[in-house]
Structure formats: structure tokens, C-alpha cells
Amino acid sequence: MKEIRIKYHADIDEICYIGGEKSNWIDLRAAESYEFEPFEYKQISLGVSIELPPGFEALIAPRSSTFSKYGLLLTNGIGIIDESYKGDNDIWMFPALAMRKTFVQKNDRICQFRIIKHQPEIEFDRVVVLGNPDRHGLGSTGKR
């Protein structure tokens, strides 16, 4: 088990990792309340600085209910935080774009993250033919 050091910058519920079959993603909360007008962009403070272990990075994504509940989009599609972002004031943020007027209450679970190992070093080998069967269909398993 890895131990992760975390500094809280706001009075919010502590991060809790449940893991197992239910989810391997960890919820993050809004560190303060935010009011959004339609198409307004704001950085939502998640109220934590986290020291990731060497060789690891965090992926941040909206929770499955974030858009339906708040009308918010994560502007980058997904967030990536590497292990060098670990200073006392390197506060994790959620860059949000509101699609409608909305309100996020302090301590609301707004996004989630997981910690993964860095991609291994790879080298690309340019070929003329891959020699594999075509799957057909972008974004599908090829079923027609």
C-alpha cells in the first residue's frame, strides 16, 4: 500500500478511498461555494495539495453526475497532475465551464481522480503494413 501525503487548504470532508469493486476513483470536493452564469469559466478549488509518489501521476475527471447536476464541463476534458506538482501551495483545481446558471456548494463532490504509473518509455517502429484484421467502426466494437 502506498502512503500519500495530503495538505488541506479548506474545511472540507477528508478524501476517502473506498476502492474494490465499487470504484477505484477517489472523489474530490469544492473547497468553497461558486455561482456560475451560463458559459462562465472558473477554476474550482479542490482545497488540497497532494504529494504523489515518484513515477506516478493523477488523472482528474468529472464525476458521472457533474454535468447533469451542475451543468459543468471540465474544460480540458481530463486533468493530469504529475508528481512535480507537490508544493504546499500547489492546490488542485477543476477548470469548469458552466453550460447553464448553476451553483456549487462548498464540500460538494465535483470530480474524481485516480493515481496511475507513468507510461513506460516506448519507441515507435514505422511500418508499411500492420498485418492485423480491421475492426471497422470508430468508437464501437465493430458491431453493425
**At 74, phi and psi to the nearest 5?**
-80, 115
Joined together, the cell numbers standing for residue 30 give 469544492
- Are the C-beta atoms of 44 and 105 separated by less than 8 Å? no
Fold of 5-117: Deoxyuridine 5'-Triphosphate Nucleotidohydrolase; Chain A (2.70.40)
Per-residue pLDDT tens, the chain, 144 aa: give them. 678 999 999 999 998 776 666 678 999 999 999 999 999 999 999 999 999 999 999 999 999 999 999 999 999 888 999 999 999 999 999 999 999 999 999 999 999 999 999 999 999 999 999 999 988 766 655 455
Catalytic residue among 82, 88, 125, 134: 82
Condensed to tens digits (0 to 9), the pLDDT of residues 103-143 reads 999 999 999 999 999 999 999 999 999 999 988 766 655 45
Residue 99 is predicted with a pLDDT of 98
Q: What pTM was computed for the model?
A: 0.84
Q: Is the four-CA dihedral 125, 128, 133, 139 of positive or negative sign?
A: positive
Q: Would you kindly state where each structural domain of the chain is located, as residue ranges?
A: 5-117
Burial of 133 (0-12, 13-18, 19+ CB in 10 A): exposed
13 is catalytic: no
